[in-house]
Structures are given as structure tokens and as C-alpha cells.
Amino acid sequence: MSIITVNPKTRSKGFKKENLHINNNLINQKKIRNKIDNIGNIKVYNLSLEDELIVKKIITSYKNFFNKQNLKDDEMILDGHEILEAIKIDKLKFPRYLVYRYKYNMYPKLHLLGDYPPCVQVEPTSFCNFRCIMCYQADKSFSNKSHGYMGFMELDLYKKIADELEGNVEAITFASRGEPTLNKSFTKILEYSSNKFLALKMNTNASMLNEKLIHSILSSDLQTIVFSIDEKDKEAYEKIRINGNFDRIIKNLELFNEIRTKHYNRDDKIVRISGVKINDRQNVEHMKKKWGSIADIVAFTNYTPWESSYDNPVNEVSNPCSELWSRLFIWHDGKVNPCDYDYKSTLSKWTLSNRSISNIWNSEEYNYLRESHLNNQRSKISPCNRCINA
Ligand code: SF4
């Protein structure tokens, strides 16, 4: 019987409520209201006029929320894991966090565009030591070395990226097509990112963790560490995470947890165990029992058939894709792509070797892609016509 049994018609980002568990009973909107009430004079945060207006809009959104009024289309309050992130954010940085989340969540809905994307996904490597059944690594025409897609990001390229993004983008995620910790410069990448960004995140399969790497991760500026795990027991895990050794993952995570508890402030970072929801057997309550002592959040993300992006049937999804306004992906070699559904970068017309990130984000070709989606022409673009991302 196939392990992948779900067949979604569309996919939204984030987590469905039933697939998310946050390990903290104290998390609630009242805490955020306290932080909102404490913002005080907006001028002291040195925000641009546009960003000040966003903070004011969120303050109004919270007033409406607590007065039990419906939010307008351009209003937003934080939700789910954002509340945990926001609670941990320093008071002086909190307005910046609000602006970042507003741009990430609302700009795709309002089709607004800033000088930079709200979040940048940086791939330290496209190599992976796993071949998970729902991942592009399962596509041999991509993951076999001979096809030319595999490589590692040079530290100098990352420095160039970080230098441009510092002060312009709050969120960088180290992940995409490969396992970031396979890059021998990964700890140097983390070091170079220090004090530059508000929401640094990494995704890892946890297979390469050792004492040294764990200290590097925990002493870094990372806000969130995501361990990609989809099941609670060995047999089911190893059927999904091909090449993964469940016993080793448990050993590594126990070591991580021991070092985190002994040497670091557990409140400093957010640890998430995150799987992909590929069948109905996976259950967040079961995952919580297994991983709740290690992770602050246990969750499943929504599945899209990434393992067969270019062979999926052409579909009828016609709404504009949110990725075009929320994130930009930078591959190991400096190639820039709008998403990782298109893991062979057939949409890409851009490389950092001759253009800046801001220039690419606002380029004619990128805007043409956005316009096509807005004008109901998504079906004419490959592989958007086979993709279910909403
Ligand atoms: S393939 Fe197109 S529709 Fe799918 S995530 Fe990428 S940009 Fe969006």
C-alpha cells in the first residue's frame, strides 16, 4: 500500500490547526496585547513611514480583535507559531517582527511588493544524504550528480548575500533542496549571520548532528531550528525518510536536548519537529507524546507532490501563487528561483553573478510572472500549471 495517501487539490503555507501543537500553555493573544500596549511611541524604532503604518494597522487589528469585531481584509493579528516567536522577541525589535510578519502574510494577499522579499530561502547545498519519498531528491534526474544540479554554496557567496540582505530582509531560512549541515562551511555561515537578521531559521534532518555542530547551532543567532521528522516509530519513519536511521536520529536529538538543557537558555530558541502530512495515519498527538520533551512545537506541514513536480497532472488552480510575493530562493550557485516546487529552476532567469537580489525581485521578468498569475494565466506557465500552491 502506498505511504502517500493524501491528494490535496490546493496547498496553503503554514499549518492547519489540527496539525500543530505548541508546547506552552501560556501562549495566547493576551501576551501579545501586552507587547502591543508596550510599543509606545512608534518614532523611537526608526522604521520607515511604510513600516510605521503597518505597525499602526496591526495595533488597530488587535483593538478590533479584542473588541470582537471582524478584521478588515488588510488587517492582521499573529497566529499559531507566530505568537510563540513574538513572545520571545526583544521589546525593541518587536515592531520589526510585526512588519516582517505582515509583509510575509499580507503582501501576497494584497499583491503588494516591497524592495525586497519578506523572506529569503538560502540553500547551503543542494546535496542531501536522504531520499525522502515526498521530496525532489527522490527524482533521480535531479539528485544524480551527473545532471549538474548538485553543489555547495561558497562562504564568499553567502557573505555577499548576507551583506545585501542585512537591514533589508528580516528572515532567512537555511534550507531548500538539500541538507544544510552537509556544507562544511555551515557553521561559518551561521557565524557570519550573527546580529544581522531577526528570524533566522534552519531545517535539518538531524542526521549530521554531533557535539560541535550542536554547540554551533545553539550558540548562533538562529531563532528557530526545525528537525524534519514525520513519524514517531522506526519502521514508519524509515519508510518515508529513505537512508534515515531512526536510532541515530533519536541519539542525535537526545544529545541536542541534553546540551540545550545543560548549557543554553531553553527559552532562547524555538525547536520544532516538523513532518510533511502525507497520510491520515500521521497524528500530531502521537508525535507530541514522542517528541514533546525535545521540541517546543510539533507540526505537520501541508503536502504537495514535490517528488514529481514536472509530471503532476495539469490542474485547474487559478489563483495567484503566494510565493511570488512572500519568498525568494537562492540556490547554492547563486541562481535565483521563485520557489522550490520548480526545483530544476525552469522559471529562473536570474543569477547573483550579475544582479542584486533587490533588482531581481523587482525585475521585469519577475513582474511578468506575477502579472501572468494575476491575469489568470497561471495555466500557461510551466510548472505553475501543475503546482497546487495557493
Ligand atoms: S511553480 Fe509556480 S505556482 Fe508553484 S510555487 Fe512555484 S511559482 Fe508558485
Write out the DSSP string of 249-264. HHHHHHHHHHHHHHHS
pLDDT value at residue 23? 81
Given a contact cutoff of 8 angstroms between Cβ atoms, the answer to whether 204 and 180 are in contact is: yes
Report d(CA 85, CA 166) in Å as an integer: 20
Given a contact cutoff of 8 angstroms between Cβ atoms, the answer to whether 170 and 201 are in contact is: no
Report d(CA 269, CA 89) in Å as an integer: 10
- Strand boundaries in the chain, DSSP class E: 20-22, 119-122, 171-174, 199-204, 224-228, 270-277, 297-302, 327-330, 335-337, 350-351
> Which parts of the chain sit beneath pLDDT 70?
1, 25-26
Nearest to 224 by CA among 331, 106, 86, 323: 86
Give me ligand 1 centre to Cα 89, in Å: 31
Report d(CA 236, CA 286) in Å as an integer: 13
pLDDT value at residue 28? 82
Q: Of the residues 323, 346, 350, 365, which should be mutated to test ligand 1's pocket, given the most ligand atoms within 8 Å of the CB?
A: 323
Q: Which residues line ligand 1 (CB under 6 A)?
A: 321, 323-324, 338-339, 341-342, 383-384, 387, 389
Categorise residue 14: left if φ over 0, alpha if ψ from -120 to 50, beta otherwise.
left
| Cell of residue 199, nine digits | 528570524
Measured from the CA of 384, which atom of ligand 1 is nearest?
2
Report d(CA 369, CA 52) in Å as an integer: 30
Per-residue pLDDT tens digits for 143-197:
999 999 999 999 999 999 999 999 999 999 999 999 999 999 999 999 999 999 9
Give me ligand 1 centre to Cα 211, in Å: 38
Residue having the nearest C-alpha atom to atom 2 of ligand 1: 384
pLDDT value at residue 26? 63
Give me ligand 1 centre to Cα 342, in Å: 7
Give me ligand 1 centre to Cα 287, in Å: 30
- Cα angle, residue 309 at apex, residues 306 and 310 outer, rounded to 5°: 160
How many other CB atoms are there within 10 angstroms of residue 60's CB atom?
13
| Cell of residue 19, nine digits | 496539525
Measured from the CA of 378, which atom of ligand 1 is nearest?
3
Q: Of the residues 308, 342, 378, which should be mutated to test ligand 1's pocket, given the most ligand atoms within 8 Å of the CB?
A: 342
Q: How far is CA 104 from CA 139, 313, 350, in A?
A: 30, 29, 22
Give me ligand 1 centre to Cα 341, in Å: 6
